[in-house]
């Protein structure tokens, strides 16, 4: 019976991650599928580019909360399954990964989603708030200086595991280091095209102008 509840929780986390605010806001409020413009991704950055600042912020907030609430499905699971305190973090990670998978391959949007950076951030908030806030600060700082979303995401993701090299953060479970490395790997793998463009000096800087023409960009 425990396995049934765990399986249902993983499915619920995936479905939560599959909620595509970029697609739904674009379709219902603007009659636009953001995946047909800009980068072609259903993420916050592409929403900023296609629909503007306000819907972009809405999408980012929802995507972050998807990851956060998915990780905290552990609260409901504890009502039905006895889990030791030491293992709680493993279930949070499991549900978080399911949510990110849902964001990248959303069942509610034809399995065409975004890159999962905002959803990963939500999971990170649920796992280690202090480290996540620092990474968010790094992201915003790099964004302010460079105007590159991709570069900001990559550097912020690399910062997370590096923080656990400092004694202050080592009080957490060693699995946090692994989680941080997984975050970095996912972000780097999903930004390979961006890295190539950054190296060539061809990466586009962030802007919020409405675009109607399909472009070869892959920021979010």
Spatial CA neighbour of 81 closest among 66, 99, 98, 95? 95
Determine the pLDDT at residue 208: 43
What is the predicted pLDDT for the residue at 171?
58
Q: What is the per-residue pLDDT across 151-162, written as a single tens digit (0 to 9) for each?
A: 999 999 999 988
- Report residue 212's pLDDT band, with 50, 70 and 90 as the boundaries: very low
With contact defined as beta carbons under 8 Å apart, do 104 and 114 qualify?
yes
Structure-token match 């649920």, residue found: 126
Running DSSP on this structure, what letter comes out for residue 143? Answer: H
Of residues 15 and 84, which shows the higher confidence score? 15
Confidence tier at 207 by pLDDT (50, 70, 90): low
Burial of 29 (0-12, 13-18, 19+ CB in 10 A): exposed
Cross-strand bridge partners of residue 176: none
**Tens digit of each residue's pLDDT (9 = 90 or more) over 48-83:** 888 988 999 999 999 999 999 999 999 988 888 888
Question: So what's the pLDDT on residue 173?
Answer: 65
What pLDDT does residue 214 have? 43
Q: Using 50, 70 and 90 to split pLDDT, how confident is the model at 36? A: very high
122 pLDDT more than 90: yes
DSSP letters, 57-101, are: HHHHHHHHHHHHHHHTTHHHHTTTS---GGGHHHHHHHHHHHHHH
CA dist., res. 182 & res. 70, Å (int): 17
Instruction: Provide the pLDDT confidence category of residue 1 given band limits of 50, 70 and 90.
Output: low
Beta carbons of 9 and 95 less than 8 angstroms apart: yes
Say how far residue 128 (Cα) sits from the centre of its chain.
15
Mean pLDDT of the chain: 87
* 207 CB neighbour count, 10 Å cutoff: 9
Domain locations in the chain as residue ranges: 1-127, 129-204
């Amino acid at each position: 019976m425990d396995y049934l509840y765990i399986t249902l929780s993983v499915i619920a986390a995936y479905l939560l991650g599959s909620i595509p605010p970029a697609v739904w806001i674009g379709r219902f409020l603007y009659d636009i599928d953001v995946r047909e413009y800009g980068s072609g991704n259903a993420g916050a950055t592409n929403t900023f580019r296609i629909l503007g600042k306000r819907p972009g912020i809405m999408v980012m907030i929802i995507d972050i909360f998807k990851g956060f609430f998915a990780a905290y499905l552990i609260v409901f699971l504890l009502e039905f399954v006895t889990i030791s305190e030491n293992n709680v973090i493993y279930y949070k990670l499991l549900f978080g990964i399911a949510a990110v998978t849902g964001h990248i391959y959303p069942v509610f949007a034809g399995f065409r989603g975004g890159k999962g950076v905002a959803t990963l951030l939500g999971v990170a908030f649920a796992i280690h708030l202090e480290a996540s806030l620092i990474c968010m600060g790094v992201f915003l700082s790099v964004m302010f200086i460079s105007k590159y979303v991709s570069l900001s995401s990559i550097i912020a993701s690399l910062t997370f595991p590096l923080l656990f090299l400092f004694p202050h953060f080592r009080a957490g479970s060693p699995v946090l280091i692994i989680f941080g490395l997984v975050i970095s790997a996912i972000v780097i793998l999903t930004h390979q095209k961006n890295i190539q463009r950054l190296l060539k000096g061809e990466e586009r800087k962030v802007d919020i102008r409405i675009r109607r023409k399909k472009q070869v960009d892959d920021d979010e």
